[in-house]
Amino acid sequence: MYEALYALLLRLYPERFRAEYGDEAMQLFRDRLHNEQGLFPRFRFWLDIIMDLGLSLVREHRLASQTGPMPAAIPSDASGAPHLYVLEQGLPSTKCLVAGFASSMVIFVVISFAAVSGGKSIPGRAPSGESLGENLSAAWSFGSALLGQQRQADLSKLPDTPAAKRFREQFEVRKTGDYEALRHFYSQTLDPANEKVIIGNASTDVDMFRRFGPRNIFSFEIVESTQLRLVLLVQESGSTSYPNAWVRYEIEVTADPSHKISQQQFISFGLQKPSSETEIPPPPGFQLNDRKPADPAFPPGKAPWEKPFSVAASVLQSYVGTYDFDSPNNSSMLVTYREGQLYVQFSGQEEVHMFPETETKFYAEGRVMRWIEFARNENGQVTGLVLNSSGFELTGRRRK
């Protein structure tokens, strides 16, 4: 919610600032929000944000209203020490100060209202995780972080080249949310052996394309009818830190039963340094250490949510409880029973209706790749579960 609020506040900045640093400002906000927890740190955080807005908004708008190029190089004085030019001269005008004060007060009121309302009125961004537990948490969510970012991308920045044209087409296809169209685009439009285009759907990808140009795609695969996995081996020719390094991205695009794109996420990322500056062999095949084979797609009419397996109410009720996962973020899952149905709720996420495939294995509604399987001990007591999301698994222990 707070991120959505700050995204709105960012719109107060001039277009140039937003285009150049909007994503970075948002990322910084997100980092601070995540790391400054607790009453006092959070109060201090918002105070910082409000003061920052009040000061920097005035400065950026003054800048935007002025014309004239920045000096191309740093001039030197007689001692040889260059000067630093700043973007202001003297104090801001009274008008600017009044505008800054007024905007700060408006922002303060909005934030206060949002804080009091408990953060439920503004839709938030789907989480993007770093740890396996967070990744699973994000994957379990039915939201789509990357779809959200796509809307912010400014395609007008792309150059007028064939590769950029393909890149733009890909954006347009993704924007429709039509999984079949996207699958068609990758399987028919692109030639994986020769195509030079960067896969991306966020404004940062547009920026990378502009700065470093297109990259080579070496492979992609369609895992099943409802899931597309793009395995990209690209050469980061523009990287300063690792010139010509090979980078492996694995992106998963999943469709819901109506063939709409329901989720897109990075599921792995890897880097291989070149063996020398001149010799740049393609990397060998890679293996993901903790990934299981993909589930087969359910044939039409056979998915658990379409044709659920019948499980006795007493069995379903025996699963009710809280299950703790041994993950870095100490996530847990709440299993509940209502009116003959089983529901699960992962930490901080919405409740999901689960449908049985067997007496112990349940699938999330509309999802092939998300399931849980309960485990019992020798006495028949339910002791835990395994949560599987796109092949990644976490084991949860039932809380006593």
Partner 1 sequence: MPKTKLNPLPSAAFHILMSLADQDLHGYEIMRQVAEQTGGTMRLGPGTLYSSVRTLLEEGLIQEIEALQIRKPGQERRRYYRLTSAGRKIARAEAERLADMLRVARTKKLLRSEYV
Distance CA 348, CA 331 (A): 9
Give least dist CB 63 to partner 1, A.
8
Residue 111 or 354 with smaller CB distance to partner 1: 111
Residue 225 or 244 with smaller CB distance to partner 1: 244
Residue 24 or 221 with smaller CB distance to partner 1: 24
Residues 121-150 that bind partner 1 (CB under 8 A): 128-130, 134-135, 138, 149
By the rule CB under 8 A, 85 interacts with partner 1: yes
Distance CA 215, CA 232 (A): 10
Q: What angle do CA 67, 157, 250 make, to 5 degrees?
A: 140
By the rule CB under 8 A, 222 interacts with partner 1: no
Contact in structure between 343 and 358 (CB atoms under 8 Å) = no
Residue 17 corresponds to which tokens in the numbers above?
């600032």
Distance CA 247, CA 199 (A): 13
H-run or E-run covering 142 = none
By the rule CB under 8 A, 154 interacts with partner 1: no
Cross-strand pairs, 42 = none
Give least dist CB 294 to partner 1, A.
17
| Site map 43..72 versus partner 1, x via CB under 8 A | -x---xx-xxx-xxx-xx--x--xxxxxx-
Residue 291 or 397 with smaller CB distance to partner 1: 291
Residue 303 or 387 with smaller CB distance to partner 1: 387
Q: How far apart are the first and last CA of the chain?
A: 33
Give least dist CB 381 to partner 1, A.
36
By the rule CB under 8 A, 202 interacts with partner 1: yes
Residue from 74, 97, 98, 102 touching partner 1 (CB under 8 A): that is 74
Distance CA 149, CA 175 (A): 11
Residues 252-311 that bind partner 1 (CB under 8 A): 265-269, 271
Residue from 3, 192, 204, 257 touching partner 1 (CB under 8 A): that is 204
By the rule CB under 8 A, 232 interacts with partner 1: no
221-224, strands of its sheet edge to edge? 221-224, 227-236, 245-255, 261-272
> Residue 122: CB partners within 8 Å, gap ≥ 6?
1, 4, 5, 114
| Site map 236..255 versus partner 1, x via CB under 8 A | x-xxxxx--x-x--------
> Residue 140: CB partners within 8 Å, gap ≥ 6?
346, 349, 352, 364, 370, 387, 389
User: Which amino acid type is present at position 105?
Assistant: M
Residue from 8, 15, 20, 296 touching partner 1 (CB under 8 A): that is 20
Distance CA 258, CA 103 (A): 44
Contacts with partner 1 by CB under 8 A: the residue count is 69
Residue from 73, 78, 91, 193 touching partner 1 (CB under 8 A): that is 73
Cross-strand pairs, 265 = 252
User: Which amino acid type is present at position 141?
Assistant: S
Residue from 87, 97, 98, 313 touching partner 1 (CB under 8 A): that is 87
Contact in structure between 226 and 180 (CB atoms under 8 Å) = no
Binding site for partner 1 (CB under 8 A): 13, 17, 20-21, 23-29, 31-32, 44, 48-49, 51-53, 55-57, 59-60, 63, 66-71, 73-74, 81-90, 128-130, 134-135, 138, 149, 202, 204-205, 208, 212, 236, 238-242, 245, 247, 265-269, 271
